[in-house]
Every structure is written in C-alpha cells, then in structure tokens.
Amino acid sequence: MSSESQTMSVTTWIGTSNTGYAPLAMEEVRRTIEGAAVRILAPAETFIIESPLDRVETLQKLQSQPPVFLRHIQPIDGTLLLSETNEADVLPWLAAEISRTEDQIRGKRISVHVRRAEGCSYPYSVFDTKTSLDGVLRDVGATIDQRSPETIISIYAVKDQLLYGIGTPDELMSDWPGGAIRFQREEEQISRAKFKLLEAERAFGLDYTQYREALDIGAAPGGWTSLLLERGVSVTAIDPGAMHPSLRNHPKLTYLKRNASEVKFKPNTFDLLVCDMSWSPMQMVKLVLDLHESLTYGATAIITIKLMHRKPLQTIRDVIAKLESVFIVHRAKQLFHNREEITLFMTKQY
C-alpha cells in the first residue's frame, strides 16, 4: 500500500460525478458521511473520499440518503505507484490483487472495469488489461460476465497511480465503468434526449411497457415520445415546436402544438407524466402542478430540472418542496446523460 492509503480514514474511495459536478458531489459526500474528507483526484470528475467509517457503514450512509451528483464509487482496496514500479511488474501486481481478493471472486460472475484518466502514466490499454486478467480470473473459478455481473473489479489509472477495488453493482452504484452508461445510437434516432429517458428507466427500476397513457410536456422533436411509443404506450405530446416527421402519423400519438400552460385534460387521464422542458425550474413546477389533476393517483412522473441558477442545491430543494404538495419524490439523480440538469422520479400521492 502507498502513503495514499495511510491516512486516519478507515476506508478510502474514489467518487465520480458528471464532468463539472465534482464539487457538488463532494459537498454531498461531506454532508452524508460526517467527518469524511474529500479532495479532487482528476479535475472536475473524480475525487478521493476518506471515510471515518468502515466499508459497510460508509455504504449504508450513502444508500440511506441516495446522492444526486455522486454517480459512482469505487473502494480503494489496493494502490500501486507506477513511478516506483517496473512496467513488467504492473500486470502481475493486478493479478496478485485478484488472487489476494479471491474470496470475493471465486465462483462469481465478474466484470472488469478499467478506466484511464487523461494524462495517466499507466502503460496498458483497457483491452490489454482485461485480456491479461482473463486467465487469472478463470484460475480463481470466476466467470467473466460483462452484462450481468455479481461482482465488479474496478481498476482506475490516474496520474501515476493504479487503484484497485471490488464491489457489487449496487455498492458501486452502477454496472457501468464509472457509472458512464452507454446506449447504442440508432440510425433513425430523433434526439440524444432519448438516452435520458432510457437511462431513467434503468436507474429507477421502471418498465415503461407497464403504462397505458402518457403525457409528454416539452416533447419536441420527440425522442422521449418515440421511446414511449416503442414501448406500446399511447402518448399525448405537447410542444409549440414541431415533432419529427417520422412520428406524424403514429396511431398512438396525439400531438398538441401548444404551450403547456394552454392545455387542459379530463381528470385521471394519464398514468405517466414525462417532462423535459429545459426551462426555468419554478415555471416548470407550476406547469406540472397545474396539470396534476389529469394524472391518476399513483401515476409516475419523470421530469428533468434545469440547473440554471447559481445555487443548484437550493434550486433542487425548492423544486422538491413545491412538488411534494402533490407527489412523492422517490429519487433525484443526475443521470450520466443529463447535462446541466438532474432527473426526478416521483409518483402522485393517493
């Protein structure tokens, strides 16, 4: 172990956020884990967390108050200083770490995540690293399974360090390296925004095929609408802007070319509300609350909140406080595909 891990902390972790949001993620960690020290590792997106709590207690804290901006964590179970290591000894060190942690790996479905921070001195590619570890993993009786792993080996190369850690997808908060979930871009994809709604489905454990009637506010050009239609949901899309021509004659789509403040619907019409207006958060909240009677009790709502103000944490608190007059807010999370915004997952109160 290097001097890096010889601190007063009981456990040390790497935290990852969306680019530019590390300061907010660090602030969250400080508030959630009393006595935790945090410092930037790779500017803007990764940081070290020195927790005064052991592994289980640290994870319990983070799970009891799920963070908005902390996207991924990786325990640091081993550290190698590359500047003090011969190149020929680097991959054998990783193999030795795997053997040392064999108890957590034996007989399990394992995925290996390798991340290289820009400018790191780690000499191997992601592909070469994984290939070199395949045999070691097989020798300890693990099956390599990138799609549904029980346990993830996380390797992060940053500056002159190689950091090794093991955890389950739940513990690490994602089954994607650094929480950077990727979806295949389709040829006819209407907008990149579709990825946000796809990611929300996974992140919040939803299944859009279970819904009957959706209201999509701020729908144009139609990425979110197209996903819901693909899932078999009927959609009423509202936007003064134009929807993509490919959606025009869809039998399950009703398109109202209007401002959302001008529309009214019968009570209890929709069991799903989605809203991606990229607009002032408080104006968006007012629109959503004005339309709440058109939602069934227990209806699900997925909305994005634009973080346009100088105090994002305060904006989020204010927005949630207002929405809680009608909704139960289950989760606020900055998804990997969110840019200057976060996503809320709510259900309408009974």
Ligand X SMILES: C[S@@+](CC[C@H](N)C(=O)[O-])C[C@H]1O[C@@H](n2cnc3c(N)ncnc32)[C@H](O)[C@@H]1O
Give the bridge partners for 165, in sequence order.
Answer: 154
In this structure, the number of other CB atoms found within 10 A of the CB of residue 89 comes to 12
Q: Are 332 and 320 in contact (CB under 8 A)?
A: yes
Place of tokens 């809320």: 344
Give least dist CB 25 to ligand X, A: 24
Distance of CA 18 to the CA centre of its chain: 9
Pairwise CA distance, residues 148 & 110, whole Å: 8
Give least dist CB 109 to ligand X, A: 34
Q: Is 306 a catalytic residue?
A: yes
Give least dist CB 274 to ligand X, A: 8
Pairwise CA distance, residues 288 & 273, whole Å: 9
Distance of CA 295 to the CA centre of its chain: 27
Place of tokens 């020798």: 139
Question: Could you list the residues that contact ligand X (CB under 6 A)?
Answer: 190-191, 193-194, 217-224, 238-241, 259-261, 276-279
Give least dist CB 281 to ligand X, A: 12
Q: Which is nearer to ligand X, 193 or 273 (CB)?
A: 193
Q: Which is nearer to ligand X, 125 or 261 (CB)?
A: 261
Q: Which is nearer to ligand X, 257 or 317 (CB)?
A: 257
Tell me whether strands 161-167 and 151-158 are parallel, antiparallel or unpaired. antiparallel
- Catalytic position from the list 130, 196, 306, 348: 306
Q: Which is nearer to ligand X, 13 or 255 (CB)?
A: 255
Give least dist CB 300 to ligand X, A: 16
Give least dist CB 268 to ligand X, A: 22
Q: Which is nearer to ligand X, 151 or 236 (CB)?
A: 236
Tokens read off for 108: 């399990």
Give the bridge partners for 129, in sequence order.
Answer: none
Give least dist CB 7 to ligand X, A: 43
Q: Which is nearer to ligand X, 107 or 241 (CB)?
A: 241
Q: Which is nearer to ligand X, 157 or 295 (CB)?
A: 295
Residues assigned a catalytic role: 306
